[in-house]
Amino acid sequence: MPTALFDHEKLDVYQLELSVISWLTDLFEELRDIKGARLAETLDQLDRASLSSLLNTAEGNGKRVSQLRARFFDDARGSATECAACLDALAAKRACSAKRVEEGKAMLARIVSMLTKLVDRFDDVPGLREL
């Protein structure tokens, strides 16, 4: 990895989000010529959600106010779970097998876990946490 110029580039979650985008690029290439089952919409949504997760992580890490950071990390987490749902939809539409998307979903599960920890770390308003 080249030298990180920005703080967000040092985050493991950001690097994993980049890995998901690379993994998805290979999947998109495989599915490029499949017709039917309205795949274009699902692939477009998956592409946008994966980029949204990455961008919200970067932007959130640049915020100085803890609760703003938490909000962006929470938005990134939502986009990552949206990616997982899109992968499920591709399997349900029989564009690819559930086995084919396992690796991507495993990476997304790690991303969601990491982002959850970041949200918890920066969203520390006393008295507002659930018991």
pLDDT digits (tens, 9 = 90+) for 74-89: 999 999 999 999 999 9
Confidence of residue 4 (pLDDT cuts 50, 70, 90): confident
5, 99 contact by CB (below 8 A): no
Confidence of residue 33 (pLDDT cuts 50, 70, 90): confident
Q: Describe the crossing of helices 102-122 and 39-61 by its angle, rounded to 10 degrees.
A: 30
**Residue-by-residue DSSP string for 8-52:** GGG-HHHHHHHHHHHHHHHHHHHHTT--STTHHHHHHHHHHHHHH
pTM: 0.91
